[in-house]
């Protein structure tokens, strides 16, 4: 097994200038040189909410590791990895596979989207509505109201065709003090209301989510930040 592991770091759901966004580490491991235990160690060492391991470039099969264990779905990492696989292949991909689940990928106007109809694979975020965006902005990780994997949100403009939402995510019980951009939580909220939503999340990330007859989708801008060796 190689002693050096190359990690590609992308930020997902950035603003239009490529700022903010959720950081994710992506590692190509087609030879399966990294055991599940080593993958978990690397995930903890990197310190991101999730790290993605590419198992097969041809089939776009990937594994996602969170700080506590391997998981079947995570919005931001799948969006970021779908974008990165397209870059590696020099052509946009149309699907990505995680734990046997085939997830559709769509590229549109510089944004990358993933679409799933398997609601059961999404993390069970606690969606907690607040009266206004000021209350969401005032939250701190120590507040009792956000101790159990909470997606805190408030309407900014409910009347628009694409509703605007202010949101933040806290999950200290899952090893995440505060997540800069939460794709799966945004998908759950879009599913709850059955409509298209635009989120300002965290400090300045932007997430788009949609719900319809074909499934639940989440999308945004992805940028590659840097790489590192561990």
Q: What is the pLDDT of residue 13?
A: 98
- The beta strands (E) that lie in the chain are given as 6-14, 22-28, 50-56, 61-66, 70-71, 95-98, 101-108, 111-116, 126-129, 150-157, 163-171, 176-179, 197-201, 205-212, 215-229
Closest by Cα among 167, 179, 152, 142 to 66: 179
Q: What is the pLDDT of residue 132?
A: 98
- Model pTM score: 0.95
Domains and CATH numbers, the chain: 6-104+219-229 (3.10.310.10), 121-218 (3.10.310.10)
pLDDT tens-digit map of 89-111: 999 999 999 999 999 999 999 99
Q: What is the pLDDT of residue 167?
A: 98
> Between vectors from CA 105 to CA 222 and to CA 33, what angle results, nearest 5°?
75
Q: Are 186 and 201 in contact (CB under 8 A)?
A: yes
pLDDT tens-digit map of 31-70: 989 999 999 999 999 999 999 999 999 999 999 999 999 9
* Residue found by looking up tokens 């509703």 in the block: 163
Q: How far apart are CA 151 and CA 124, in angstroms?
A: 10
Q: What is the pLDDT of residue 1?
A: 42
Q: What is the pLDDT of residue 213?
A: 84
Which residues of the chain fall below pLDDT 70?
1-3
């Amino acid at each position: 097994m190689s002693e050096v592991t190359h990690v590609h770091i992308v930020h997902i759901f950035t603003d239009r200038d490529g700022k903010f966004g959720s950081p994710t580490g992506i590692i190509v491991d087609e030879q399966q040189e990294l055991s599940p235990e080593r993958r978990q160690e690397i995930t903890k060492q990197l310190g991101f909410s999730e790290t993605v391991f590419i198992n097969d470039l041809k089939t776009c099969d990937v594994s996602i590791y969170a700080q506590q264990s391997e998981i079947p779905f995570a919005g931001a990492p799948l969006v970021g990895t779908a974008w990165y696989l397209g870059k590696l292949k020099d052509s946009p991909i149309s699907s990505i596979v995680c734990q046997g689940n085939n997830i559709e990928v769509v590229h549109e106007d510089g944004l990358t989207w993933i679409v799933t109809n398997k609601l059961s694979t999404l993390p069970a975020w606690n969606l907690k509505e607040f009266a206004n965006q000021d209350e969401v902005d005032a939250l701190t990780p120590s507040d009792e109201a956000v101790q159990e994997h909470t997606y805190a949100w408030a309407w900014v403009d409910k009347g628009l065709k694409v509703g605007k939402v202010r949101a933040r995510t806290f999950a200290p019980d899952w090893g995440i003090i505060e997540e800069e951009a939460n794709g799966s939580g945004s998908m759950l909220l879009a599913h709850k209301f059955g409509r298209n939503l635009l989120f300002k999340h965290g400090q300045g990330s932007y997430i788009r989510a949609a719900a319809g007859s074909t499934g639940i989708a989440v999308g945004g801008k992805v940028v590659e930040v840097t790489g590192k060796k561990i």
